[in-house]
Amino acid sequence: MKTAHSVSDLVAAGLMTPEAGNAVSTVTERYAVALTPYLLERLAGAPPDDPLYVQYIPSPEEAYTAPSELTDPIGDHTHSPVKGIVHRYPDRVLLKPLHACAVYCRFCFRREMVGPGGDALSPEELDAALAYVREHAQVWEVVVTGGDPFLLSPRRLSGIVQALAAIPHVAVVRFHTRVPVANPARVTPELVSALRADGITTWVAVHANHAAELTAEAAGALGRLADAGIPLLGQTVLLKGVNDDAPTLEALFRTLVRHRVKPYYLHHPDLAPGTSHFRPDLAHGQDLVKALRGRVSGLCQPTYVLDIPGGHGKAPAAPSWIGPDGTVEDFTGTKHRYEP
């Protein structure tokens, strides 16, 4: 079985009828499609409201672009001094060596930039990006993203890690990936070994939105990373119809922690074109954060964040527990007077 890259592939796999495929033809002309053989098997026979199906199978709703939606919703281009580098915060940069992914999520904030034939760095461009990091002594952390960096070969991953490890002021390299839950067999011992080097600490942030993604195979991939001493973080997007209720988030965050992944960010969906049907109200997200406070331990509590449109960075979006009258609300909703 091969990766599905088109509507005809999805129809052939039994995941769409020909009529449903025709209804999304204009969507797939603009936004990339990819499902790995692993996910094709997982989704066999799944209904259209399945939480994994919704994340990966194109929908006619994507054809609508809301007035507030932006082709570059978090301002990558605004803060890109060199091709492949985004320098938004003083002490860290994004390094984007490629714009291809193992799968293409229907809510992706970089959906206008990623896909087959997406811009990848040439060896010379990668050298220039690394030179930028060397020249900026305030850069303490490099976040390798894209695209999905785990699509690179172990040799190329090792080359990036070794080059960063040789820069004295870079202490941490962090990889952002969907591969452990989208194609877990790709997380081989060779790939894991390539992520580590003397002189630098490696972290991996894994994108997972539903506990159903954390299968035995995915758990094995996460275990190979954790057993190698690589700290794991979880990134989740709050998605209407996928995980926008407290029991679903509770199950996800508990499962992540059980597999040694610390929930890190719960992202409010960005203003990417064609994604308005995924975005819940901010107030609903804040209510969920409050509900989780009383349901799960601190280990299972990510930070709810909103990426400010235009490239102004992330802002915590959690509700306040301290009222203007000096009362403090506990996890049951009961308010208490606090006298400092």
Mean pLDDT over residues 18-32, rounded?
A: 95
How high does pLDDT run on average in the chain?
Answer: 95
- Helix (H) / strand (E) element for 156: namely helix 154-165
Active site residue 101: yes
Active site residue 89: yes
Active site residue 110: yes
Q: Of the residues 61, 82, 98, which one is the last residue of a structural domain?
A: 61
Same structural domain for residues 215 and 285?
Answer: yes
pLDDT at residue 116, as a whole number: 74
pLDDT in tens, 266-287: 999 999 999 999 999 999 999 9
Cα 222 to the center of its chain, rounded Å: 15
Separation of alpha carbons 95 and 334, rounded Å: 45
Separation of alpha carbons 116 and 297, rounded Å: 41
Query: Is residue 294 pLDDT above 90, yes or no?
Result: no
Comparing CA positions, the residue from 209, 216, 211, 148 lying closest to residue 184 is: 216
Question: Which residue in 92, 240, 260, 290 is the catalytic one?
Answer: 92
pLDDT band at 58 (very low <50, low <70, confident <90, very high): very high
Same structural domain for residues 96 and 205?
Answer: yes
Mean pLDDT over residues 46-54, rounded?
A: 96
pLDDT at residue 113, as a whole number: 84
Enclosing domain of residue 164: 64-337
Query: Is residue 173 pLDDT above 70, yes or no?
Result: yes
Same structural domain for residues 307 and 198?
Answer: yes
pLDDT at residue 118, as a whole number: 62
pLDDT at residue 39, as a whole number: 98
Q: Bigger pLDDT: 29 or 326?
A: 29
Question: Which residue in 110, 224, 279, 293 is the catalytic one?
Answer: 110
Same structural domain for residues 34 and 123?
Answer: no
pLDDT band at 241 (very low <50, low <70, confident <90, very high): very high
Active site residue 178: no
Question: Which residue in 31, 101, 174, 300 is the catalytic one?
Answer: 101
Active site residue 258: no
Q: Of the residues 61, 91, 108, which one is the last residue of a structural domain?
A: 61
Separation of alpha carbons 277 and 239, rounded Å: 9
pLDDT at residue 120, as a whole number: 82
Secondary structure class of 164 (helix, strand, coil): helix
Task: Count each helix (H run) and each strand (E run) in the chain, helices first.
Answer: 12, 11
Same structural domain for residues 157 and 292?
Answer: yes
Question: Which residue in 38, 72, 96, 105 is the catalytic one?
Answer: 105
Active site residue 254: no
Same structural domain for residues 204 and 301?
Answer: yes
Number of domains in the chain: 2
Query: Is residue 1 pLDDT above 90, yes or no?
Result: no
Strand partners, 254: none
Secondary structure class of 206 (helix, strand, coil): strand
Active site residue 307: yes
Same structural domain for residues 150 and 40?
Answer: no
pLDDT at residue 80, as a whole number: 96
Which two tokens mark 107?
């809510």
Active site residue 300: no
Active site residue 174: no
Same structural domain for residues 21 and 72?
Answer: no
**Least confident among 92-106, 166-180, 310-324:** 310-324
Question: Which residue in 31, 106, 108, 111 is the catalytic one?
Answer: 108
Active site residue 330: no
Same structural domain for residues 68 and 85?
Answer: yes
Question: Which residue in 9, 72, 148, 270 is the catalytic one?
Answer: 270
Query: Is residue 142 pLDDT above 70, yes or no?
Result: yes
pLDDT in tens, 180-217: 999 999 999 999 999 999 999 999 999 999 999 999 99
pLDDT band at 117 (very low <50, low <70, confident <90, very high): low
DSSP sequence for 296-309: S-GGG-PEEEEEPT
